[in-house]
Amino acid sequence: APGEEMPAGGGGNRAGGSGGGGTAGTLTLLLGEGTKRLPQAIIIGVKKGGTRALLEFLRVHPDVRAVGAEPHFFDRNYERGLAWYRDLMPRTLEGQITMEKTPSYFVTKEAPARISSMSKGTKLIVVVRDPVTRAISDYTQTLSKKPDIPTFESLTFKNRTTGLIDTSWSAIQIGIYAKHLENWLLYFPIGQILFVSGERLISDPAGELGRVQDFLGLKRIITDKHFYFNKTKGFPCLKKAEGSSKPHCLGKTKGRTHPDIDQEVVQRLRDFYRPFNMKFYQMTGQDFGWD
């Protein structure tokens, strides 16, 4: 979704990082040295889960280098080849991790095999969020671009009278996490996938970032000292963004006000997702507390 992306060039090509040891490291990057590497870690999903927030928070770490825009390589641009993909990556020094995020990978049938054939060792991160609020957020994003779309309620049901839910609508489909995960587990062991709670990313950003840094094998440098809670946005923001001394909240397209949805419809959706959520909790060994 273009709404998830930053303009190309938002790659945050910050010189420096601790990989090369202080000033020498800074200098080699300023001189355009360092090497473009294929990513060792990818945020593969999910749309409207909190992937942009996670990436921006992670980029505070001196050993993380990430692409700003979503490359969409393993879903839309695969025929361009790995050399094209690698060229999009920022230069890194020894010991730094190259990352990208494209939330649609999680629901792309071909993505697991493609990523696995690039490297079986790729670490995968999935930011998940209550599928009902995720669907409403997804709808809200579309609505902001196409104000004339049908109501959320009418898109949810194949048939309102029978209450049959239209699982072909992508806003509903994406939230059936257990189903999509099965596809990934054909190619990757569960231990190579980290599941980040979108809710906890808001309520306890430092705690979730601690888990992510551990998973990536990084020193726990990002802590609660880096965040402040912005009451207007209802989001944690960074006291200092990557490469800047100014505080940084996510852009104005983040944290949109959701329209009021008929409570009966919300309840029907909760009931619909419950068994899939339970299956997902079992598969991941984590209870996300959505029910």
28 is in an annotated binding site: no
Q: Give the total number of structural domains in the chain.
A: 1
Other CB atoms within a 10 A radius of the CB of residue 232 amount to 7
Other CB atoms within a 10 A radius of the CB of residue 182 amount to 11
49 is in an annotated binding site: yes
Residue 231 within a domain: yes
254 is in an annotated binding site: yes
Residue 6 within a domain: no
How does pLDDT run across 186-223, given as a tens digit for each residue? 999 999 999 999 999 999 999 999 999 999 999 999 99
Output the pLDDT for position 106.
98
How does pLDDT run across 11-44, given as a tens digit for each residue? 443 333 344 445 666 676 567 689 999 999 999 9
DSSP code string of 256-290: PPPPP--HHHHHHHHHHHHHHHHHHHHHHT-----
How does pLDDT run across 125-138, given as a tens digit for each residue? 999 999 999 999 99
Kindly report whether the global pTM for this prediction surpasses the value 0.95.
no
Name the residue range of residue 59's domain. Answer: 35-284
Residue 18 within a domain: no
- The catalytic residue positions are 48
Per the CB < 8 A criterion, the answer to whether 25 and 19 are in contact is yes
- CATH number at 182 reads 3.40.50.300
Residue 139 within a domain: yes
Output the pLDDT for position 10.
38
Residue 47 within a domain: yes
For the chain, report the end-to-end CA distance as a whole number of angstroms. 28
Residue of 6, 15, 3 lying closest to 67 (CA atoms)? 6
Residue 10 within a domain: no
Cβ neighbors of 64 (< 8 A, separation 6 or more) are 58, 96, 97, 99, 216, 218
